[in-house]
Structure 1
């Protein structure tokens, strides 16, 4: 195939002609294949460098002459509604960035916050959000040290948008990232899948029935620190947020050029989440989480990691869900042994199931 005829990334992911290929659509923010295409086709084309191209949720920056690296990350938050069972946009903004930095294996120390407020937004709600952010920061042991505020005219925003950036430090010897998964590694998740997405959907009164499900949004740096102390050879840490578990594992498979095989019966999903997904036609593997971590590490340290996770409130339901394999074909893939005994391929999320959830 000549270079001229080589299909672009988004053509491979979206083989049917799309009338909106020249415009941004909601699916570009899903965290799935269209988000990946947007990043590959536009942002990496212009911003490509050795650090960005590692495709982690953080950047570990070397310090000349030092045995530590600075870790930075940034994230935007536009959840709707801004208050939902188990959390709000403020707790989400702090936790999301704390977690992205923590996925490097380092310790996050400082956050900055940027607010875009729509004219007419309630000051009482803003104060409630600010207090929630401070509470989450205190829980994580970090300080919010700088920020910025802009106000948009009424009708030109959507209440409140928050962007946060995080700064932390990691020992230069630590090599944790999506490209580090190795054959024989064990895959662990710290708890049940899909809680956040379904809790947000319930807050929109779109389920058609009541549910007690709460968002899992939480800062995970303490949980990750405990896991690393027990199992220092962890290869990959990743929080399965937008696009859910399935999309995140596909990203890791591509970064590492490894196959990942899952056991469907081992993947934890709460009864209420499963019921909601069945009614709405969703797959819980693609529903967002905001307080869970994927841990990929050598099998010999899996039990030690599980014991450490189980001892922490945010990891008490941690389980082994699969393992890493040498690729069986030219393209790394995620596969799953199903409830009925077959095997199916688990692809990236290809569209937008739940907009405005993180």
Structure 2
């Protein structure tokens, strides 16, 4: 289970098993989506993802809209406008058609809202011992505008680190309805398509160097991956981290770090320091970025490491999660 958590064990699986096995057939950028050049100079973003969330319906969303929005967001993190998606279903024998219909309806509505077309797909059914409800795989293709260069390796010392809103909301929303857990208030998932927010950031001339949607492994995993890819350090200001009280309370109760809890409708952006104010203004002008704020700075010190400055003036290391804290979050 730990190898599927988006943390250090996931990275080791990719680095030491998949990439050596695939060899020259594999691209090595390891971003949220692959950037592919077509002969006439056109650049496409291509991504694939699988969704196994349990329960399949949770406050604020379902596995259906999560699958569409997750793939749209992977494309958006390369600056792409999503165009087409595939959908594949692995269904457990005995799954109710009404339940499957709700998931399909949610996917269709999410695709229409994102302006993306569902153009091909597949369905498989496994016996009761071979599945657990509905699993969904999606792949997406998007078009990257000319002049846009958003890459995990472009972070530079001095870059401002921004986040588009509250963190940890999706993970807590799923936990809140799993096995009867209650946290005294209803927390709804933040699942949403982020390509419009990214387009607004680009249109403002902010020149984002790196974008990442902090899903599995949360903000901690996203920042550590960027720091390692660009060989830079990241310094966070702990008091600036937007952690809602309900998320903080739930994480305290369960012994979790909010920075390692999954998000599905937030992005982290590294932008040049000189463009930080205009980037924040662009984010805050969009409905999905009203609570955007600067949470840190990219530095030359401690390359590959993320640290947080505490309220007492000290620092603590924000490490990459080892395995999976929260099974079946996405």
Common fold: TM-score over 0.5: yes
* SS of alignment partner, residue 188 of structure 1: strand
* Whole-Å separation in 2 of the counterparts to 1:289 and 1:79: 13
* Whole-Å separation in 1 of the counterparts to 2:14 and 2:301: 25
Corresponding residue for residue 317 of structure 2:
345
| Contact 2:206/2:279 (<8 A) preserved | no
Kindly indicate whether residue 180 of structure 2 is the aligned counterpart of residue 210 of structure 1: no
* Whole-Å separation in 2 of the counterparts to 1:332 and 1:215: 30
* Whole-Å separation in 2 of the counterparts to 1:327 and 1:173: 30
Evaluate the alpha carbon distance shift between residue 296 and residue 114 of structure 1 in structure 2; reply closer, same or farther with a 3 A threshold: same
Corresponding residue for residue 259 of structure 1:
233
* SS of alignment partner, residue 256 of structure 2: coil
Kindly indicate whether residue 7 of structure 2 is the aligned counterpart of residue 40 of structure 1: no
Evaluate the alpha carbon distance shift between residue 49 and residue 257 of structure 1 in structure 2; reply closer, same or farther with a 3 A threshold: farther
* Whole-Å separation in 1 of the counterparts to 2:216 and 2:91: 24
**TM-fit CA distance, 1:295:** 0.8
| Contact 2:183/2:246 (<8 A) preserved | no
Corresponding residue for residue 13 of structure 1:
none
Deviations 1:155-174 (A, max 9, x none): 21111000000001113532
Corresponding residue for residue 187 of structure 1:
161
Match of 1:92 among 58, 62, 66: 66
Match of 2:29 among 54, 58, 76: 54
Evaluate the alpha carbon distance shift between residue 312 and residue 155 of structure 1 in structure 2; reply closer, same or farther with a 3 A threshold: same
TM, length-normalised to structure 1: 0.90
* Whole-Å separation in 1 of the counterparts to 2:24 and 2:37: 14
Corresponding residue for residue 16 of structure 1:
none
**TM-fit CA distance, 1:305:** 1.2
**TM-fit CA distance, 1:67:** 2.8
| Contact 2:3/2:10 (<8 A) preserved | yes
* Whole-Å separation in 1 of the counterparts to 2:24 and 2:262: 29
| Contact 1:51/1:59 (<8 A) preserved | no
* SS of alignment partner, residue 308 of structure 1: helix
* Whole-Å separation in 2 of the counterparts to 1:71 and 1:234: 17
Give the aligned length.
330
* SS of alignment partner, residue 130 of structure 2: coil
Corresponding residue for residue 299 of structure 1:
273
TM, length-normalised to structure 2: 0.97
Match of 2:84 among 98, 110, 115: 110
* Whole-Å separation in 2 of the counterparts to 1:85 and 1:292: 17
* SS of alignment partner, residue 296 of structure 1: strand
| Contact 1:181/1:296 (<8 A) preserved | yes
Please tell me whether Structure 1 or Structure 2 has the larger radius of gyration of its CA atoms.
Answer: 1
Corresponding residue for residue 19 of structure 1:
none
**More displaced stretch, 40-49 vs 219-228:** 40-49
**TM-fit CA distance, 1:232:** 4.3
| Contact 1:207/1:276 (<8 A) preserved | no
**TM-fit CA distance, 1:106:** 1.4
Moved over 6 A (4+): none
